[in-house]
């Protein structure tokens, strides 16, 4: 009996010791919850996405918050630099919105992940397409007084643009910004080509090839003046002149500076509108004042006239 009694006492002592140990641990090193904020998200299998002919429209630096639970000492020793979230792009289904789960990496086994916020990310995919588009020179600034810039020569004058179908399909040309401020002589330069958004920032996900082109900008002494339509006659009774315009609406003149200083516009040859009903286009000649001449004159000047019935 005494042996049995001693054995029971030993078991009881062991149980008490275990309980005391758990109590001490829970008091001195309790379980706590902790939020890890701004955990970076990495995209996995990005190359598979590219190889499939897709690209992300909303590829941004996504960060998540992770709520974890574990012993205080374990959480305090946690290397937060080694913790990151992942999104597997291999689970993409196709064009449009794709909702993918977020996974957490770098959490040791003695710490539990309670919650990830957000636990999913919505990615928008589009098909990658290419298009060959013409370059459209856009002059910024003004040349030196008494000088004019003529149409530039570009080599090449077209580029290949690669990017999301939703963006590329609406593009008709690629603007090429050229600074001509203060120019008084021709200039040759290598000009970078880039696609900009409405805020003037380079458009993400869109590439241009080649991304640099050779440009020659002719500069001559002269003056840019407007072309104004010379209308004679009146529209028929019951009709009204709705719109009238000239294309191009300017011409470049050169000659004696005293003569040029008094010329701000030139007229077209007279056009009688008395017989016009409806929309019509006429090729007209600008009348150049004596003593001056044109530089690089347009192949043709088109007068566009729209005469409508009164409402």
- The per-residue DSSP string of 276-308 comes to --EEEEEEE-B-PPTTEEESS--S-EEEEEEEE
What is the tens place of the pLDDT at every residue in 71-120? 999 998 888 888 999 999 888 888 889 999 999 999 999 999 999 999 99
Evaluate whether 127-220 and 222-309 have a shared fold.
Answer: yes
Beta strands in 118-264 (DSSP E): 120-140, 147-149, 153-155, 158-164, 174-179, 187-192, 207-209, 212-217, 219-221, 223-232, 239-247, 250-255
Q: How many other C-beta atoms can be found within 10 angstroms of the C-beta atom of residue 249? A: 12
For 222-309, give the CATH class.
Answer: mainly beta
Q: What are phi and psi of 160, to 5 degrees?
A: -100, 125
CB 83 within 8 A of CB 113: no
Q: In 10 A of CB 192, how many CB atoms?
A: 11
Provide the pLDDT for residue 146.
82
Domain ranges of the chain: 31-118, 127-220, 222-309
Helices (H), the chain: 2-28, 46-51, 72-76, 165-168, 257-261
User: What is the number of alpha carbons within 13 Å of residue 10 lying toward its C-beta?
Assistant: 6
Q: Between the ranges 20-29, 60-69, 132-141, where is the mean pLDDT highest?
A: 132-141
- Would you say 259 and 182 are in contact if contact means Cβ atoms under 8 Å apart? no
Instruction: Give the fold, CATH level 3, of 127-220.
Output: RNA Polymerase Alpha Subunit; Chain A, domain 2 (2.170.120)
In whole numbers, what is the pLDDT of the chain averaged over residues? 87
Q: Read off the pLDDT of each residue in 145-171 and give the average, rounded to a whole number.
A: 92
Q: Is the pLDDT of residue 52 over 50?
A: yes
**Residues 242 and 274 sit within 8 Å (Cβ to Cβ):** no
Q: What is the signed CA dihedral for 286, 289, 291, 297, rounded to 10 degrees?
A: -20
User: CATH code for 31-118?
Assistant: 2.170.120.30
Residues 227-259 have pLDDT tens digits of 999 999 999 989 999 999 999 999 999 888 888
pLDDT band, very low/low/confident/very high, at 221 (cuts 50, 70, 90): confident
3-state DSSP call for residue 220? strand
What pLDDT does 229 receive? 94
Cα(43)–Cα(49) distance, rounded to whole angstroms?
Answer: 10
């Amino acid at each position: 009996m005494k042996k049995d009694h001693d054995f029971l006492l030993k078991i009881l002592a062991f149980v008490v010791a275990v309980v005391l140990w758990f109590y001490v641990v829970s008091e001195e090193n309790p379980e706590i919850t902790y939020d890890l904020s701004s955990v970076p998200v990495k995209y996995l299998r990005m190359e598979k996405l590219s190889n499939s002919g897709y690209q992300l429209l909303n590829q941004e630096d996504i960060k998540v918050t992770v709520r974890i639970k574990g012993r205080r000492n374990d959480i305090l020793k946690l290397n937060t630099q080694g913790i990151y979230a992942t999104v597997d792009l291999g689970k993409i289904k196709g064009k449009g919105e794709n909702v993918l789960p977020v996974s957490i990496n770098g959490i040791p086994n003695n710490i539990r992940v309670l919650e990830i916020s957000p636990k999913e990310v919505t990615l928008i995919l589009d098909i990658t397409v290419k298009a060959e588009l013409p370059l459209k020179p856009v002059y910024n600034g003004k040349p030196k007084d008494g000088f004019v810039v003529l149409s530039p020569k570009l080599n090449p004058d077209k580029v290949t643009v690669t990017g999301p179908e939703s963006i590329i399909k609406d593009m008709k040309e690629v603007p090429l910004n050229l600074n001509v401020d203060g120019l008084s002589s021709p200039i040759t330069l290598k000009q970078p080509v880039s696609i900009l958004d409405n805020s003037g920032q380079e458009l993400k996900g869109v590439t241009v090839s080649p991304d640099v082109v050779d440009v020659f900008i002719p500069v001559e002494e002269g003056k840019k003046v407007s072309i104004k339509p010379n209308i004679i006659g009146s529209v028929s009774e019951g009709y009204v002149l709705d719109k009238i315009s000239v294309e191009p609406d300017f011409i470049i003149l050169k000659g004696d500076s005293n003569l040029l200083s008094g010329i701000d516009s030139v007229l077209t040859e007279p056009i009688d509108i008395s017989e016009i009903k409806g929309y019509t286009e006429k090729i007209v000649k600008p009348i150049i004042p004596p003593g001056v001449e044109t530089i690089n004159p347009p192949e043709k000047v088109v007068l566009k006239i729209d005469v409508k019935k009164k409402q």
